[in-house]
Amino acid sequence: MISNSEQETATIAADFAKTVNCPSVITLCGDLGAGKSCFARAFLQSLGVKGPITSPTFSLVNLYQSENGVQLAHMDLYRLEDDEQAYQAGIEEILHDSNTISLVEWPERLSWMLPKDILQIKITHQSETSRLIELPESSL
Ligand SMILES: Nc1ncnc2c1ncn2[C@@H]1O[C@H](COP(=O)(O)OP(=O)(O)OP(=O)(O)O)[C@@H](O)[C@H]1O
Ligand SMILES: [Mg+2]
């Protein structure tokens, strides 16, 4: 799909969220500034997260609750230093938790730890305000 604004990306994310079951691990791939956090924020808000949604830049993972009692995990692994740091942050447990939907920015940093079945999203810059958003076939 093509998004021509942050708002369009938010709409695509909210529509995608409706198709996601628990548990799921969703990977968000794309360059710096592609819109991964923008997508994640809208996804979380559409599932009932209120209040500010900040990037887990240094904490690696932020946890929320959906309105249906599902745990929502937002991860940003860009600054991950080593596997030990991921274990310390509880990331392996969260990724395999049966009551959690995880969104993972920069999943390449920890690809070996991801479960086999993941929902992959790829966001590519087309221009300053336009993005190509590739969603898993199962969600279309
Ligand atoms: N169509 C679009 N969809 C999403 N964001 C857009 C779009 N057009 C412009 N932008 C801008 O691109 C930026 C995306 O930032 P965002 O933090 O979501 O990227 P990111 O992929 O998470 O980057 P990082 O790798 O640094 O975490 C924002 O400044 C946003 O306003
Ligand atoms: Mg980001």
Which residue's CA is minimally distant from atom 8 of ligand 1?
129
Pocket flag, ligand 1, residue 56 (CB < 6 Å): no
Pocket flag, ligand 1, residue 30 (CB < 6 Å): yes
Pocket flag, ligand 1, residue 74 (CB < 6 Å): no
Average pLDDT, consecutive stretches of 10 residues, N- to C-terminus, the chain (140 residues): 98 98 98 98 98 95 97 98 97 98 98 97 98 95
- For residue 96, the model assigns a pLDDT of 98
Q: What is the 3-state secondary structure (H, E, C) of the chain?
A: CEECCHHHHHHHHHHHHCCCCCCEEEEEECCCCCCHHHHHHHHHHHCCCCCCCCCCCCCCEEEEECCCCCEEEEEECCCCCCHHHHHHCCHHHHHCCCCEEEEEECHHHHHHHCCCCCEEEEEEECCCCCEEEECCHHHC
- For residue 109, the model assigns a pLDDT of 96
Q: Provide the residue ranges of all domains of the chain, joining segments of one domain with +.
A: 2-139
CATH class (in words) of the domain with range 2-139: alpha beta
- For residue 35, the model assigns a pLDDT of 98
- For residue 131, the model assigns a pLDDT of 98
- For residue 57, the model assigns a pLDDT of 92
- For residue 65, the model assigns a pLDDT of 98
